[in-house]
Structure 1
C-alpha cells in the first residue's frame, strides 16, 4: 500500500492504494508531497491539524488535497507525513437524504526553505478516481504543475 508518481502530459499524477479510506487519502497526500520535493528532511517541522468537509467522498479527497496546497502557500511549509485520523459520513442538515463527508487529519509542516520544492499549483478533477477494490481502496489524482 502506498503511492506511485506518474507522468501525465505537462502535469503529474499520483496513483495510490490503501487498506482503508483513511490510508488511501494519506498515501495520496504523501504522493503530493513527493511530487513537490524529492528530498524531505526527516525531523524538521511541527505537526498541525486540519478538518475538511465536502458533499461527496471524491470531493472530500479533492478538497483535502486542495487544503494541503493552500496551507503550504499560507504557512510556507510543505505538508508531509500525512495522517488521516478519521473519515466520516454524516447526514447533512439541509437535506435528510444528503450525506456530508468530513475528515480529521494532521501533517508535519516542513519549512519551504528547508526543501528544494517544485510548485504543484492545484489538484484537478481530470481523470480523478476513488474506488473501493477487493483489498482496500485505490485513488488516482492529477496535479497541475
Structure 2
C-alpha cells in the first residue's frame, strides 16, 4: 500500500495503489491525512470506527473519504493511520453484479483521531468526483482522487 501526493491546479490529488481494494482505500485515506498535515505521528489520539454504505465502488470511496473529512470538521480531529478491514460488494470486489442483483457496497474501517489542537493542519474542503479513478490492475488496485483545498 502506498500513495503519492500530486499537484492538481488549485487542488491536490492522491494517487494510491494497494494489493487489495481495502489497502487501496486505506492508502488514499493516508494520502488525505498527509495532504492535511506534514507531521502527526507522535500527536496521540484515540482510534475510532468507520462504517460506510454506497451504491457503487467509486461512491463507496467517495463517501468514505467524505466521512473522514466530516469527522475532522465535527470532532476537531485529523483521521490518520487508516485501516480498512473490509470492503464488500457485488462480485466479491471484482465490480461485477452479484447473483442476488444487489449493487450495495460497504466498508468497515478505523483510524486514529489526532486533535487538531496538537498539529498544524491544512484544510481540505472536500473530496471530488473530478477525475476519480478506481480500477483493478495487475497485482492489485489503483486509485486517483482529487481533493478541493
| SS of residue in 1 equivalent to 2:22 | helix
Q: What is residue 99 of structure 1 aligned with on the other side? A: 103
Asked whether 1:41 is paired with 2:45, we answer no
Alignment of 1:106-145 (within 5 A): 106-145=110-149
Q: What is residue 77 of structure 1 aligned with on the other side? A: 77
Deviations 1:5-57 (A, max 9, x none): 00000000000000000000000000000000011133500000010000000
C-alpha RMSD of matched pairs (Å): 1.3
Count the aligned residue pairs. Answer: 141
Deviations 1:43-85 (A, max 9, x none): 5000000100000000000000000000001110000000001
**Conservation of the 8 A alpha-carbon contact between 1:41 and 1:114:** no
Alignment of 1:11-30 (within 5 A): 11-30=11-30
Scaled by the length of structure 1, what TM-score is found? 0.94
Structure 2: state its 5+ residue gaps: 92-99
Q: What is residue 55 of structure 2 aligned with on the other side? A: 55
Q: What is residue 97 of structure 2 aligned with on the other side? A: none
Deviating beyond 6 angstroms after TM superposition, the runs of 4 or more aligned structure 1 residues are none
Scaled by the length of structure 2, what TM-score is found? 0.91
Deviation for aligned residue 1:90: 5.5
- In structure 2, C-alpha distance between the alignment counterparts of 1:28 and 1:142, rounded to whole Å: 10
- In structure 2, C-alpha distance between the alignment counterparts of 1:42 and 1:104, rounded to whole Å: 25
